[in-house]
Structure 1
Amino acid sequence: MTAPSNAASSDALERDARLVNSRHAEVRPGEIAVGVIIGRTTEFFDFFVYAIASVLVFPSYVFPYVDPLTGTLYSFALFSLAFFGRPLGTFLFTYIDQHHGRGVKLTIALFLLGGSTMAIALLPSHAQVGATSAWLLGLFRLLQGVALGGAWDGLPSLLALNSPKEKRGWYSMIPQLGAPLGLALACALFAYFLALLEQADFLRWGWRYPFFVALALNIVALFARLRIVATPEFKRLFDSRELQPSPPFETLFAEWRTILLGAFAPLASFALFHLVTVFPLSYNQLFTQTEPVRFLVIEGVGALICVGAILAAGLLADRVGRRAVLGVSAALIGAYSGFAPQLLGAGQIGEALYLLGGFVLLGLSFGQSAGAVNSSFAQQYRYTGAAIVSNSAWFIGAGFAPLVALWLAANLGLWSVGLYLLSGVLCTLGALAINKEWAKREGDAAAPDQHPVIED
């Protein structure tokens, strides 16, 4: 199905961005990479600002009538709502994309994301409005998820399409840099306000400022991304159906196998993602005497180490293959799951070892975890299929990880968190094994130039 022409509805929003690119006849991979990094860093900054507040603010601000553990569990339950909202956003904004254009879709999605984030910054406390505070927080968190689902712009796919074949692993890791960069920035801001303010002042007004910063960054990200999607090259790829949205249900039925593999292949990485970022902060806050400022600084340092590990994953993938990097890193995460969670209860040195070692493994695995199957989508389904894979993987692998891990640690002990992480490892290894068999069967029948499901 060909999307109707909607130049009239998008041109007004994209005109300035197109003028910026008027000197270029094509999109350079380096320019795409900058747009991707800015966009993903902004999204993950929003994500981690909320996640940190879920531990340090909302349990006492929104749920003061329960004990701290229960309040944090309630807060993590609301945290998960965004992962329900992301698929809804994909369906809603695909319609907007098809009928009103990419510029309109992206503008609405990023303003919804920024508006929801700012609304959380203005959230009244339970002391002011009672249970309405929790309902409002849940609504704003759900809207954040809807906006994130709609903010898919196809830039990672465009980057892959424009990258040299021998450097596909390197360019595939570029979108992943946004996660540790966003985390480092969020940790730095919260650590600054915690160190600067008394606890009462922080809980009254200091925690709100990182959310206001998120709104400003969303505006910057909007123009950085429109600068790319408004280019003639992006329009050519869109018009040739390489980056054209397809009906979501049609994509699901036509590409269910690729979507299934894409959702399960990165689960080891996505489970570890929250077990070294959000969960340990909650465990530290509830069960140890470590100051949150110190813990946030260690997490920020770990995030920068993760950047280096992601870069290393890109280099390794181009030498040994993406499947090998995913498989070996999953096996290493499995070994890590057997002993590392217990380090959180072994004092400050144990906490540091858990975090820094976990961030190294996260970088190696996360660096190649996204987009591993995108090249195997049929051309007309690649744009929407990539968005569905991303939403599905985050929902299954990460949406409930902080909630489940904290409940397990509180009721069964830290060893059970290792078992939870191991389950993600088994899903990844299973998906890679199934993919190898499917690729072998298709290789016997397919044309010589057909891509395998996950590239070697």
Structure 2
Amino acid sequence: MANASHYGPSSTSMERDARLIHADKPVSAGSIAIGVIIGRMSEFFDFFVYGLASVLVFPQLIFPFAPDRLTATLYSFAIFSLAFLARPVGSVVFMTIDRLYGRGTKLTIALFLLGGSTASIAFLPGYNEIGAWAVALLALFRLGQGFALGGAWDGLASLLALNAPKNHRGWYAMIPQLGAPIGFALASVIFGYFIANLSNEDFLSWGWRYPFFVAFAINVVALFARLRLVMTQEFGTLLEQHELEAAPINQVLRVHGRDILLGAFVPLASFAMFHLVTIFPLTWMFLYGTQPIGAFMVVQIIGAMVGIVAIIVSGMIADRIGRRAQLAVCAVLIAIFSFVGPVLIAMGSEGQDAFVIIGFGVLGLSFGQATGSISSRFGRGYRYTGAAFTSDLAWLVGAGFAPLVALTLSSRFGLHYVGYYLLSGALCTLAALAFSKALEQRD
């Protein structure tokens, strides 16, 4: 395929023909940005729908045999983590599909598998109906989500970054990150609506299933938005220049193994905080809080709006002081929040609301530049695969086990141990940034 393809090994003849058809219709940076946001929003919506259900539904539906709600939630979070273990495996498999059959084929398979795994959960019977099979099927579908997400890496964020002016790279780097708070807000709106308007029995019987159906529909829309950009002349040109080709992972590890390791730890503070301001507060409120869950989800939606603003601001700041300095400052802010956050949660409803809103603000400032730091170290030919695999490892180390670890620590040793956990992420980020700077100066 590599010798026959004008656009390199990641382009099929059908994709090349599609690009030739659209050769006289250049795509604007705005169109790329919209496509990237839609794509990321669909992925995060899938994961947040599952994350919210891990707190509100699965402990009661799948783990009614647990001795208490806390233990059931811990079981639920253990399965939650499986997707992050499967994601790197999915990247390796789908990179092979990319090289053999093209980016469009890879994305189509990955997004249908992602949407199919999510929609399948909507039909899942409870433990009282099918016993242990309910646990096994939930684990299987969760693994399917993670495996598919590894193949959903499309290179569009890199396409956006490679078209960014030098003095606006921070601004362009933050655009894909907007998909996370948008996806979380949308998932919270849908869940919150059913919680507020249904009895607990109706919600656990059928109401919780609707968000999973919506996820499949959103994935279909996102697929067409992504394919439209993958078939553009601009994307094909970058493939021809080997900027977005899917290199074998063993080659990338051999050339950029050190960069992958550093890249996995640079955003650790941001990724560790990611689930601590989205999933963990809802968990604490569900288990120990006093205010209605529906009302608290409104607060989380407000927090997501604050996060959107903070992500946008992060792009402006990064263009002024540089991405590394931005991430270092935010790591310090997260370290400070690691001491303040547990105190806020312990203060009751008002403190818990403040925890969410302030937390989203700090998270947005950091998360807005987190993945931009990952891809910037990879050279031509290695950027696409390197950025994908580094992102997988960063999510696995930083966020995959965060809800499980945070709930375990807080329930056994107290809320201040959640702060220590978050502080360790901030220190890892600062150390990785310092080491990365030292290596660049030496090189």
- RMSD between aligned alpha carbons? 1.8
Task: Determine the C-alpha separation between the residues in 1 that align with 2:39 and 2:260.
Answer: 23
The structure-2 alpha-carbon separation of the partners of 1:101 and 1:3, relative to structure 1 and needing over 3 Å to count, comes to: farther
Letter in 2 for 1:183: F
- Is 1:28–2:28 an aligned residue pair? yes
Q: Is the Cα–Cα contact under 8 Å of residues 14 and 103 in structure 1 kept in the other structure?
A: no
Please name the residue that 1:318 is paired with. Answer: 319
Of the structure 1 ranges 187-196 and 343-352, higher mean CA displacement relative to structure 2 is found in 343-352
SS in 1 for 2:154: coil
Please name the residue that 1:199 is paired with. Answer: 200
Which digits, 9 at most, give the CA deviation of each residue in 1:271-304, with x for residues without a partner?
A: 1111000111111111112211011111111001
Please name the residue that 1:230 is paired with. Answer: 231
Q: Is the Cα–Cα contact under 8 Å of residues 107 and 151 in structure 2 kept in the other structure?
A: yes
- Is 1:155–2:156 an aligned residue pair? yes
State the 1:386 CA deviation.
0.6
Q: Is the Cα–Cα contact under 8 Å of residues 16 and 236 in structure 2 kept in the other structure?
A: no
Q: Is the Cα–Cα contact under 8 Å of residues 248 and 384 in structure 1 kept in the other structure?
A: yes
Please name the residue that 2:258 is paired with. Answer: 257
Task: Determine the C-alpha separation between the residues in 2 that align with 1:95 and 1:16.
Answer: 22
The structure-2 alpha-carbon separation of the partners of 1:10 and 1:215, relative to structure 1 and needing over 3 Å to count, comes to: farther
State the 1:7 CA deviation.
9.5
Equivalent positions of 1:368-387 (< 5 A) are 368-387=369-388
Please name the residue that 1:366 is paired with. Answer: 367
Which digits, 9 at most, give the CA deviation of each residue in 1:72-119, with x for residues without a partner?
A: 000000000000111011011000000001110000000000000000
Q: Which runs of 4+ in 1 moved over 6 A?
A: 6-9, 13-18
Q: Is the Cα–Cα contact under 8 Å of residues 90 and 388 in structure 1 kept in the other structure?
A: yes
Please name the residue that 1:40 is paired with. Answer: 40
Please name the residue that 2:210 is paired with. Answer: 209
User: Unpaired runs of 5+ in structure 1?
Assistant: 443-456
Task: Determine the C-alpha separation between the residues in 2 that align with 1:2 and 1:375.
Answer: 26
Please name the residue that 1:57 is paired with. Answer: 57
Of the structure 1 ranges 134-143 and 281-290, higher mean CA displacement relative to structure 2 is found in 281-290
The structure-2 alpha-carbon separation of the partners of 1:63 and 1:398, relative to structure 1 and needing over 3 Å to count, comes to: same
Please name the residue that 2:441 is paired with. Answer: 440
Task: Determine the C-alpha separation between the residues in 2 that align with 1:338 and 1:3.
Answer: 57
Aligned residues: 440
SS in 2 for 1:376: coil
Task: Determine the C-alpha separation between the residues in 2 that align with 1:164 and 1:248.
Answer: 29
State the 1:22 CA deviation.
5.3
SS in 1 for 2:216: helix
SS in 2 for 1:380: coil
State the 1:28 CA deviation.
2.4
Task: Determine the C-alpha separation between the residues in 1 that align with 2:109 and 2:102.
Answer: 11
SS in 1 for 2:121: helix
SS in 2 for 1:357: helix
Equivalent positions of 1:82-101 (< 5 A) are 82-101=83-102
Q: Is the Cα–Cα contact under 8 Å of residues 84 and 395 in structure 2 kept in the other structure?
A: yes
Task: Determine the C-alpha separation between the residues in 1 that align with 2:100 and 2:262.
Answer: 30
TM-score normalized with structure 1 length: 0.93
SS in 2 for 1:398: helix
State the 1:236 CA deviation.
1.4
The structure-2 alpha-carbon separation of the partners of 1:374 and 1:33, relative to structure 1 and needing over 3 Å to count, comes to: same
The structure-2 alpha-carbon separation of the partners of 1:205 and 1:381, relative to structure 1 and needing over 3 Å to count, comes to: same
Please name the residue that 2:246 is paired with. Answer: 245
Q: Is the Cα–Cα contact under 8 Å of residues 172 and 314 in structure 1 kept in the other structure?
A: yes
Q: Is the Cα–Cα contact under 8 Å of residues 338 and 420 in structure 2 kept in the other structure?
A: yes
State the 1:15 CA deviation.
7.1
Task: Determine the C-alpha separation between the residues in 1 that align with 2:292 and 2:3.
Answer: 54
Q: Is the Cα–Cα contact under 8 Å of residues 17 and 227 in structure 1 kept in the other structure?
A: no
State the 1:348 CA deviation.
1.0
The structure-2 alpha-carbon separation of the partners of 1:287 and 1:379, relative to structure 1 and needing over 3 Å to count, comes to: same
The structure-2 alpha-carbon separation of the partners of 1:440 and 1:155, relative to structure 1 and needing over 3 Å to count, comes to: same
Please name the residue that 1:454 is paired with. Answer: none
User: Unpaired runs of 5+ in structure 2?
Assistant: none
Letter in 2 for 1:385: G
Letter in 1 for 2:47: F
Q: Is the Cα–Cα contact under 8 Å of residues 13 and 104 in structure 1 kept in the other structure?
A: no
Letter in 1 for 2:102: G
SS in 1 for 2:31: helix
State the 1:180 CA deviation.
0.3
SS in 2 for 1:338: helix
Query: Matched residues, percent identical?
Result: 56
Please name the residue that 1:132 is paired with. Answer: 133
SS in 2 for 1:255: helix
Letter in 2 for 1:281: L
Letter in 1 for 2:40: R
Q: Is the Cα–Cα contact under 8 Å of residues 118 and 211 in structure 1 kept in the other structure?
A: yes
TM-score normalized with structure 2 length: 0.96
Task: Determine the C-alpha separation between the residues in 1 that align with 2:37 and 2:166.
Answer: 21
State the 1:343 CA deviation.
1.5
Q: Is the Cα–Cα contact under 8 Å of residues 173 and 310 in structure 1 kept in the other structure?
A: yes
State the 1:32 CA deviation.
1.0
Letter in 2 for 1:91: V
Q: Is the Cα–Cα contact under 8 Å of residues 10 and 99 in structure 2 kept in the other structure?
A: no
State the 1:29 CA deviation.
1.8
Which digits, 9 at most, give the CA deviation of each residue in 1:400-435, with x for residues without a partner?
A: 000000000100010000000000000000001101
Q: Is the Cα–Cα contact under 8 Å of residues 19 and 233 in structure 2 kept in the other structure?
A: no
Q: Is the Cα–Cα contact under 8 Å of residues 116 and 216 in structure 2 kept in the other structure?
A: yes
Letter in 2 for 1:379: R
The structure-2 alpha-carbon separation of the partners of 1:154 and 1:8, relative to structure 1 and needing over 3 Å to count, comes to: closer
SS in 1 for 2:27: coil
State the 1:38 CA deviation.
0.3
Please name the residue that 1:415 is paired with. Answer: 416
Task: Determine the C-alpha separation between the residues in 2 that align with 1:215 and 1:104.
Answer: 18
Task: Determine the C-alpha separation between the residues in 2 that align with 1:18 and 1:219.
Answer: 25
State the 1:135 CA deviation.
0.3
Please name the residue that 2:175 is paired with. Answer: 174
State the 1:257 CA deviation.
1.2
State the 1:254 CA deviation.
1.1
Letter in 1 for 2:362: L
State the 1:373 CA deviation.
3.6
State the 1:9 CA deviation.
8.9
Task: Determine the C-alpha separation between the residues in 2 that align with 1:2 and 1:250.
Answer: 16
Task: Determine the C-alpha separation between the residues in 1 that align with 2:28 and 2:164.
Answer: 9
SS in 2 for 1:379: coil
